[in-house]
Structure 1
């Protein structure tokens, strides 16, 4: 296996979960039905910030230099993304820290597992959320913010490319199984949170929209 094959395997194996995370119910669940521009921006910023903080801690703990550099690079991209989204918000950003970031659980241990979680599982989840943010701002006739989230989707693709390259250097033999399991776990956790949020709101998470 190589990094590209692992990414294909994750996408195929988690197709249903990723499809549902990218459904029209995604923002409904993520914002707890606060479908207005600022709550959408705050939710995106909080998710990016939580991801950034988690990967920064992993980078500091990494024992392999390739893993550390990969996680640092991804942290920097997430940092820039937070700043970009925050600049579009109406408030001063304090609400970001108070918000429980949706669809995000980063609990991997080990360099390989953390690289896979942070550069494969995470950007696949972010891409699904940002897809619906694009649609939301298109419907709001806000082309600037729609383009912002298109750019963030492109950043998610860049993170994936960084991750597959790093895993090519880091993985041999059974390492690939560990990496795939870790990436899948991020998506599983995101889907579980998505389903729980919708269920609490009285919606069925299963139909794909």
Structure 2
């Protein structure tokens, strides 16, 4: 297996979940139905804060290149959080509970890939929201952030190719990525149900 194979396999396994996480209902869940720009920005800051905390804790990873990647991710998420000029909320996205429990470089890199797949989808929705609000500057900020997340995924993929030495390693990385996405989706699903919204698309 290669990292490209792993990412394809994760996308295939979690196709429905990622598709729904990439819908406008994600913002509705993030804001608990309060779709005002300031609430959306606070929700975005909450995601960036949680990501910063996770990746900052990983920046002492035993693999030097992975530690550097996680440190870069921590710095980028902190910079994005600060640029939003919004206070993060108190709740931490559930997928970070999974990420925080991952052990070892292989699992962390797999989980990191899962986070990037979710985060890119979410940032596309933030971009669309602020485009609809006739706020092109903020929309551009989220569009650029999505590109940054893709770059982080590419770096993680390179490291996975370097550190995975066996089928067991690849299986562990893939399982971590899938668990992160599945947990994010479960939270999305349950939040929408609590709000009285059908999480499934209406055909």
Same fold (TM over 0.5): yes
Hey, what does 1:183 align to over in structure 2? 177
Q: What does 1:1-209 correspond to in 2, within 5 Å?
A: 1-60=1-60, 62-86=61-85, 89=86, 93=87, 96=88, 98-102=89-93, 104-105=95-96, 106=99, 107-118=101-112, 120-173=113-166, 174-207=168-201
Q: Distance in 1 between matches of 2:137 and 2:149?
A: 19
Question: How much does 1:208 deviate?
Answer: 6.5
Structure 1 unaligned runs (5+)?
A: none
TM-score by length of 2: 0.92
Q: Secondary structure at the match of 1:4?
A: helix
Partner secondary structure for residue 28 of structure 1: helix
Mapped contact 2:27–2:40 kept (Cα < 8 A) = yes
Root mean square deviation, CA, Å: 1.6
Per the normalisation by structure 1, the TM-score is: 0.89
- CA deviations 1:164-184 (Å, max 9, x no partner) are 011111112221111010011
Deviations 1:95-139 (A, max 9, x none): x1x421345322312221012212x01111111111111111111
| Structure-2 separation of matches of 1:134 and 1:198 | 21
- For the residues of structure 1 that align with 2:72 and 2:3, how far apart are their CA atoms? 17
Is the 8 Å Cα contact of residues 30 and 102 (structure 1) preserved in structure 2? Answer: no
For this pair of structures, how many residues does the alignment match?
A: 199
Q: Distance in 2 between matches of 1:51 and 1:184?
A: 17
Whether the 8 Å contact between 1:27 and 1:40 is mirrored in structure 2 is: yes
C-alpha distance in structure 1 between counterparts of 2:161 and 2:80, whole Å:
26
Alignment CA distance shift 1:208-1:161 (3 Å): farther
